[in-house]
Copies of this chain bind each other. A is one copy, B any other.
Amino acid sequence: MNQEKINELKKWMASENIELTYISDPGHIAYFSGYKSDPHERVLALFVSLKDDPFLFTPALEVEDAEKSSWIYPVHGYLDSENPWEKIAQLIKKMGTPNKIATEKEALTVARFDILNNYFPTSDFSASVTPVIEKLQLLKTPSEIAKLMEAGNWADVAFEIGFKAIKEGAKEQEILAEIEYQLKRQGIRSMSFDTLVLTGKNAASPHGNPGGTTVAKQDLVLFDLGVVYNGYCSDATRTVAYKEPTDFQKEIYSIVLEAQLKAMDAVKPGVTAGELDEVARGVISGYGYGEYFNHRLGHGIGTTVHEYPSLVTGNDLVIEEGMCFSIEPGIYIPDKVGVRIEDCLHVTKTGCEAFTKTAKDLIIID
């Protein structure tokens, strides 16, 4: 549970005269409550009251787990045979009908929003708590940064396992199976996304699908992976060569590396998110490959693998100490070559520190 962040949320509620906030996104519920769950189509909700205790509302079969988590306030459950909204409405009305209710407009579905509106026809639902949560999540506390660092360490472990698994004829799916196997044996419960291992031409698709393609001489092999550890995610990419690469592969790699290092060098409080994107894009465009870097430079990371800030040209958001995000330029030339290098990092007083430490000079597996 994160009491500090709940208190900050309540400060905002007080300033806006909001009596009740309904948090519906499972990742955000985990962020505040410490209880993480994927409810599928069932209802999982966190209600934060300005004056009363907050409460979690979960399917009946999760009440025990929620109570065993770090959450110290009440947990209310509902059976599959019950109407959850009826129960929620009763719980809220016990505290008095709120004049103003804030919801997560960027997470809540239209249908659920309408249901809640119907139960509280006199309440004002105009406030969205989404920007407030995004802002709270934007600046990580030292304990959050420590958890992100641990998650990053596991990504480094994953690279080591993956690099060792590369050999002539090894299939992409075998290499990624090996990585996840070793990690899960050591207690990693979830990867933060499906592990990518792409070799040769496949690496030229930024979100490609690993399969039965085998590693051959002079392939570049791209690994994009991360774990969830203590509720926090890692996300990192390395591209390595199997056997001595061609001059062209080396050239592309060195351009991406230069872009990645220059962007990381530029990270410090005061620069904007857009400027960082431009630093990396400028390097790649300067060499004439701008059209092959077809995604933004990076994204925030925390309890979810993609959050704010978005490092994209035009974003004027000013970078501050405590922000955590990826720096991941890439060049993808269809049917030819794909290279991406990615670290996530936290912004310090004067620069930044990466969560992943695996070497970035082109590694050649022999």
Interface residues of A (CB under 8 A from B): 37-38, 40-41, 59-62, 64-65, 79-81, 103, 105-114, 128, 130, 171, 173-174, 176-178, 180-190, 193-194, 205-212, 294-296, 299, 305-307, 310, 312-314, 332, 334
Of B193, B207, B310, the contact of A80 (CB 8 Å cutoff): B310
With both beta carbons as reference points, the residue of chain B lying nearest to A211 in the complex is identified as B187
Contacts of A188 in B (CB 8 A): 173
What are 24 contact pairs spanning A and B, CB under 8 A? A37-B207, A41-B306, A60-B295, A61-B207, A62-B207, A64-B205, A65-B207, A81-B312, A103-B110, A105-B109, A107-B109, A108-B109, A110-B110, A111-B128, A173-B184, A177-B181, A177-B182, A180-B181, A180-B184, A181-B184, A187-B212, A189-B194, A189-B209, A189-B210
- What chain B residues lie within 8 Å of A208 (beta carbons)? 65
Q: Least Cβ distance of A360 to chain B in Å?
A: 22
Copies in the complex: 2
CB neighbours (8 Å) of A59 from chain B are 295
What's the Cα separation between A307 and B41 when bound, in Å?
8
Do A174 and B185 have beta carbons less than 8 Å apart? yes
* Cross-chain contact A80 with B110 (CB below 8 angstroms): no
CB–CB A81/B173 < 8 A: no
Q: Are A61 and B206 in contact (CB under 8 A)?
A: yes
Q: In the complex the two chains form, is A190's CB within 8 Å of B194's CB? A: yes
Task: With both chains docked as a complex, state the minimum distance between the C-beta of A154 and any C-beta of chain B, in angstroms.
Answer: 14
A37 neighbours in B (Cβ, 8 Å): 207
Q: In the assembled complex, which residues on chain B have CB atoms less than 8 Å from the CB atom of A41?
A: 299, 306-307, 310
Nearest CB to that of A59 among chain B residues? B295
Contacts of A103 in B (CB 8 A): 110
Q: Nearest-CB distance from A312 to chain B (Å)?
A: 5
Residues of B within 8 A of A114 (CB): 105
Closest to A107 in B: B109
